[in-house]
Chains A and B, each alone.
Chain A
Amino acid sequence: MPDLLIELFSEEIPARMQARAADDLKSMMTDRMVEAGLTYAHAAAFATPRRLTLAVEGLTDHSPATREERKGPRVDAPEKALEGFLRSTGLSKDQLEARDDKKGQVWFATIEKPGRPAEEIVAEALTQVIEGFPWPKSMRWGEGSLRWVRPLHSILCILTDEEGHRVVPVEVAGYAAGDTTEGHRFLSPGRFRVSSFDDYAAKLKRAHVILDPEERRERIRHEAQNLAFAQGLEVIEDNGLLAEVAGLVEWPVPLMGEIGAEFMELPPEVLQTSMKEHQKFFSVRDRTGKIVRFLTVANIEAPDDGAAILAGNGRVLRARLSDAKFFWENDLAVAKDGMGAWTDKLANVTFHNKLGSQKDRIERIAALAREIAPMVGAGPDAAGRAALIAKADLSSEMVYEFPELQGLMGRYYAEAAGLPADVAAAAEEHYRPLGPSDDVPTAPVSVTVALADKLDTLTGFWAIDEKPTGSKDPFALRRAALGVIRLVTVNGLRLPLQSAVPGGGVSDDLLSFFHDRLKVHLRDRGIRHDVIDAVLAMPGSDDLALVTARAEALAGVLATDDGENLVQGFKRANNLLTQAEAQDGVAYEFGPDEKFAEAAEEKALFKALDEAEAKIGPAMEAEDFGTAMEAMAALRAPIDAFFEAVQINTDNQIVRRNRLNLLHRIRQICLAAADLTRIEG
């Protein structure tokens, strides 16, 4: 049972691709080996910036021999048939055996395939894997045609058992496998030979390479924390950055340096973003939350303990932060001046060539915000003012440099301009929610501007017929619609999109787009599509909060036995009635008279309907759908009993008519809150 070790050694592999590549190497190799008849006990893959490594333990040293018997043509069949059989089996005539069969003598072939040695299978698999490796982006180099993520330098491929190790003879695009590799580029140059995975991992560590990414991450985390703790500070955790940094180094050496006091006035988000995006530094904060140090992870242990590296990184950071400070100070001057320069500048920035400039757009949003503000509980003046400055920071130097700080800088600058806190907060919050899990703002001014922004985008793109198609949604209109849905429902806003939105409201087509997004949104929350359809068929379907409340109530009732059976009872009543109406050509809308009721169950139903109606009416009035539907569900037993005891189509036409009118009353009551005909099952 040998162990297999493979290492593909190359120039620096992008950090973001390493983990996936290691997984791919493992699954592609093991899949192919297993398919070829080998088995193994355990496999593990690793990646560093310069290598992908696969270690397979307990591999069988050959695939099993196979023996297959095949029946051929009859002995007296034409020569052509026999030739075909020989070709397909790869045998000659004297290797066949004639056996008695039901219809006479028939040729039989026995095909024996010997097991193949692991070497051969591994070599074949590795060639295929290297030549077809699914890198997200790959390249050629020199004069070759092989594609790899960056130039490949060497292949290590050995099998190790009790007798020692042997190189698997394989050559891919001129790269012959061997049993040597390299250590750290700077700390341990030169190649060395390895004889097994344990030997490989140990020698690599001696040569300043930590093979396992998890171990590199832990070492960074641990040493970074120690450095910070020693000074009473704390590293701000950032797992994405940690994974990236661990993919940039083979020998991680965290180093902590100071941030000049002159940069302390910068907002902490600016410090953190600048350090992370430009330098891949972690931020270190003190007990008050102020960011006071940077933490970088070097790839070498330097003789001066990293003094030169820290000095260099500190200088680069100073230059970066000087830029940031310059932007911040320039921006603050504009902000304190009322931000007019920025909003004017947005007149020259095209939002969309058919929808005008950013300034045009902002003015539309502000007008809309003023209109809908009362429905959200915000003051029209505050909302309009907030909308006018909410996107001003798009012209600021800081946001030009760090687009991810848009909104946040807007808030800082609005505060600097002396605007009220709720207006300033809207600058940051009006972009939200950015997705299905992002927080939804609740402050009225923020909600108003957020709604106005999204509604303007949607109505605008609908007006110029730029709707999402298939997977293409370049203007993120689905996200905007979901944003409106979540803003309205989370805040319980009554904002009928067709009657309350000024300018004639949203078009029917846009409303149905909202309905589609609402279905997806509610389905994610466990509400069936037929329930949503039943609710959307009711009037007021442009009132998304109302629709959602109804759908939730209906789904709640349907989850009970009574609710589900009521639907059955309703459908039965409805079907009978519909048939009778079609047959008789009349609508049974007169209202039933209790005096024609014969059976006790029929009389009980009259009473139950009276009671239900007494509850449902006021509940619907109050939009208390839960109570209304509970009252409906209570009809289940009387309706069931009625159908059990009573024949609708009796010979007595007066009684029959009265019963059909009774069914009509059931129908009307049941359709008051939702279109139950759309419920499936």
Chain B
Amino acid sequence: MAGGTTQPRSFQEVILRLQTYWAGKGCAVLQPYDMEVGAGTFHPATTLRSLGPRPWAAAYVQPSRRPTDGRYGDNPNRLQHYYQYQVLIKPSPPDLQQLYLGSLEAIGIDATVHDIRFVEDDWESPTVGAWGLGWEVWCDGMEVSQFTYFQQVGGFDCKPVSGELTYGLERLAMYVLGVDHVMEMPFNDPDAPIPLTYGDVFRQTEGEYSRWNFDVADTDTLLRHFEDAEAECQRILGAGADDPRSGRRIVMAHPAYDQAIKASHIFNLLDARGVISVTERQAYIGRVRALSKACATAFLETPAGGADDAPSAGAA
């Protein structure tokens, strides 16, 4: 690739450059959430923080799991475990598109040589009760990011509106590095004393998880875990705001939301095991959405959700 910037040489360099770029633009660079999620959006730094009136700017890598996409490490670009890079800025700044294009330049994509397009793509997450409008961003015909202006999360109007950017890191890095099979992509510098490819790190685990996701995961156990997570989420939210031990008001939005995330991921696993019929599917999605909405409601009662702010701020 031509252009002013030098080209990254490895997967991790692409990530590091994005981290540096967004840190330079004022984002708090967070770490991945320590739970299994289907996408970076599930990180509370996005779902919950996009709610309420308080400004927010965060960027982070999020390992994401999509059990049905497992291909035993054989497919050139399908993985059941992959990385997303996520940026959330609230309120969405007027120059967000320019900021985004700057991030592409930072990883070596020159927009005067490559064809960058913003193609309509409305985003909706039925399990989070969220939707927004935006685009998928194409680079030479390949989708490299999702760009969304959040309109609703957990059933609440987003005021102000957050701008969300999601980069599919493997696909983007493969493109920038000119690699055709994900497993052949250099993970660290190819000239490092111990050069490692993506395959060195993940080929085996892709195989292990594919087998477990598709054939071995015990569906009865999973079904029970789903019920447990759902019940625990509801119990946490039902516990009331007043904490007798500390004597404080503590709404436990985040612990409850953890259970919602858990239920969502277990649903994905059950789906991969092929035990959920078309009609049941809708019912499960509805149950997870109900949890997400309850968590969103709870978050809006917390300080970070703007509960203590002056009423003029205009919380949902």
Chain A positions within 8 Å of B, measured between CB atoms, are 11-12, 14-16, 49, 137-143, 149-151, 153, 186-187, 248-249, 279, 281, 296, 298-300, 302-304, 308-309, 311-313, 315-319, 322, 348-350, 353
Contact = CB atoms under 8 A, between A and B. Distances in A.
Contacts of A318: 180
A350 B133 contact: no
Contacts, number: 110
Contacts of B118: 11-12, 49
B141 A319 contact: no
B141 A16 contact: no
Contact of B112 (A137, A303, A313): A303
B114 interface: yes
B126 to A, nearest CB: 17
B92 A322 contact: no
A162 B72 CA distance: 73
Contacts of B119: 12, 248
Contacts of A14: 120
A142 B113 contact: no
Contacts of A187: 112
Contacts of B163: 141
Contact of A302 (B91, B94, B112, B151): B112
Given A153-B94, A319-B76, A139 B112 contact: no
B277 A350 contact: yes
B113 A302 contact: yes
Contacts of A143: 91, 159-161
B77 A350 contact: no
Given A151-B149, A312-B141, A350 B278 contact: yes
B112 A309 contact: no
A313 B92 contact: no
Contacts of B94: 142, 151, 153
Contact of A139 (B2, B133, B140): B133
A143 B112 CA distance: 32
Q: Which range contains the number of B residues in contact with the other chain?
A: 35 or more
Contacts of B40: none
A350 B279 contact: yes
B200 interface: no
Given A149-B133, A315-B180, 10 more contacts: A139-B149, A141-B163, A142-B161, A150-B133, A151-B92, A249-B117, A279-B141, A308-B114, A313-B140, A317-B141
15 contacts: A137-B122, A137-B133, A142-B92, A143-B160, A151-B94, A186-B111, A249-B117, A302-B113, A303-B113, A308-B140, A309-B114, A309-B140, A312-B175, A313-B141, A316-B142
Contacts of B142: 312, 315-316
Contacts of A299: 115-117
B180 A309 contact: no
A240 to B, nearest CB: 15
A322 to B, nearest CB: 7
Of A137, A299, A312, most buried by chain B (CB within 10 Å of CB) is A312
A114 B159 CA distance: 44
Identify the 3 closest CB pairs spanning chains A and B, nearest first. A312-B140, A14-B120, A12-B118
B190 interface: no
B120 A16 contact: yes
Contacts of B140: 308-309, 311-313, 315-316
A270 B161 CA distance: 41
Interface in B76-102: 76-77, 91-94, 97
A643 to B, nearest CB: 67
Contacts of B91: 141-143
Contacts of A313: 115, 140-141
Given A137-B133, A312-B142, A313-B141, A304 B113 contact: yes
B304 interface: no
A49 B91 CA distance: 24
Nearest to A300: B115
Contacts of B129: none
A312 B114 contact: yes
A140 B2 contact: no
A311 B113 CA distance: 11
B112 A142 contact: no
Contacts of B114: 302, 308-309, 312
A174 B135 CA distance: 25
Contacts of B160: 142-143
Q: Chain B CB within 10 Å — which of A142, A248, A299, A353 has the most?
A: A142
A309 B120 contact: no
A385 B189 CA distance: 59
